Amino acid sequence: MEPLYALSLTAGILIAFLLLVLIATYHDSFKAEILPDADQPAKLRVYQFIYTLVQILAKSLEILGISEEHQLLRLLSEGLPACRDSKLFIKDLHFDEVPVRIYLPRAASASKRRGVIFFHGGCGIFGSIRSYERFCRHLARESGSVAVSVGYRLSPEHRYPAQTLDCLTATVHFLKTAESYGVDPDRIIVCGDSVGGTFTTTVCQELVNRRDIPKIRAQVLIYPFLQALNFNLPSHQKNAFTAFLSREREVYFILKYLNKDCSMKEAVLAGSHVPESIKLKYRKWINPDLIPERFKLGYEPPLPTPFLPHVHEETKELFRTRVSPLLAEDAVVCCLPDTCIITCEHDVLRDDGLLYKKRLEDNNVRVAWHHMEKGFHCALSFFGYGIFSFPSSSKIANHVVHFIKAY
């Protein structure tokens, strides 16, 4: 009986796996849109298929009560461990109880180095220091900087705003102790991708009025998430079903990050969480009319939707600057440091970056902007994997290094 049981179990697992593959194939073929002008579309489709398969498996395990969806997705985001690096000292430390990994160039320096603090992406739910190990090593080596990667606590185990507070705590600690790492405290740059860009923006905004610590010299925002009022901007329409971060998954992850009921997703997507008074107040900053015409091909203004007070009441955090830093007042924005913004064409968050670029420039903040015509959300996560990486991954990393070396 035992061989028969083992054979039945194996057959059952294989059938279940094949069903998952078929479901993922259907989902990928009919939902995900990978345009031919995207970066290496065939490779991108393979990765999207694997991601879809893991998503379906993760959701199935959650329904069965075996594990939560985000736990399996975290494993996928970890990537492969990197090899030893002879050009860097790498240490795991804690900055006021926040875990960090610091990368110090071994080569001698005639003067104090610049410092770079990096906040990883992953919707505040995924990602880790290890996920961006290759990028942070590249950053430290190529720019000759002391780089600090912050391992902030993740949601939903640690409720918002624990993530922002960890990033803020680590930044303040580094600004105060920079010289002990051979860093000039007046040459510290903050950098992040996706939600890491959100944390970067928030940290810079919250520190503009601090007089007890050195000023942040510059900030680097890589396809950042910056607002949760309007999910019907041109980039949301164009990239509604794009790889890795669809419009639907964007809102789902935001609600999950904030520990909110994800059944409100459709109402938030439609804009029913925003009262008319708030729409009018922030229309001067969040408005498709502010997007350059070349990014609005095919855009159609959405139909009006009814305001739902109960959804608004449950999602008030979406209007706070720690979640939507694009809503900060001009008195704060005008005091921000020099900024590098990197946007990707195949990304629902493209227009967040474009709108913030305009806000900064309107407030006389110096902005360097790089747009990846073939780029997609999460591109930086693939950096450093050789033939398994993408040209846009290297272009983003090189733009960041080039910007940082100017300081």
Instruction: Please tell me which residue in 193, 377, 381, 399 is annotated as part of the active site.
Output: 377
Query: What's the rounded Cα separation, in Å, for the pair 58 and 53?
Result: 9
Tokens of 42: 């065939």
Instruction: Point out which residues pair with 372 in neighbouring strands.
Output: 344
8 included as an active-site residue: no
39 included as an active-site residue: no
β-bridge pairing 183-193 and 146-150: unpaired
Beta carbons within 8 Å of 157's beta carbon, 6+ residues apart: none
Query: What's the rounded Cα separation, in Å, for the pair 22 and 49?
Result: 11
How far is it between the farthest Cα atoms of the chain? 77
- Which among 87, 58, 60, 88 is positioned nearest to 74, based on CA atoms? 58
- Reduced to 3 states, what is the DSSP secondary structure of residue 135? helix
CA 41 to chain centre: 21
- Reduced to 3 states, what is the DSSP secondary structure of residue 354? helix
Instruction: Please tell me which residue in 77, 131, 194, 392 is annotated as part of the active site.
Output: 194
Instruction: Please tell me which residue in 39, 347, 351, 352 is annotated as part of the active site.
Output: 347
Question: Number of helices (H) and strands (E), helices first, in the chain?
Answer: 14, 8
Rounded to the nearest 5°, which phi and psi values hold at 356? -70, -35
Query: What's the rounded Cα separation, in Å, for the pair 293 and 161?
Result: 36
Tokens of 271: 């804009």
347 included as an active-site residue: yes
Q: Give the residue numbers marked as catalytic.
A: 194, 347, 377
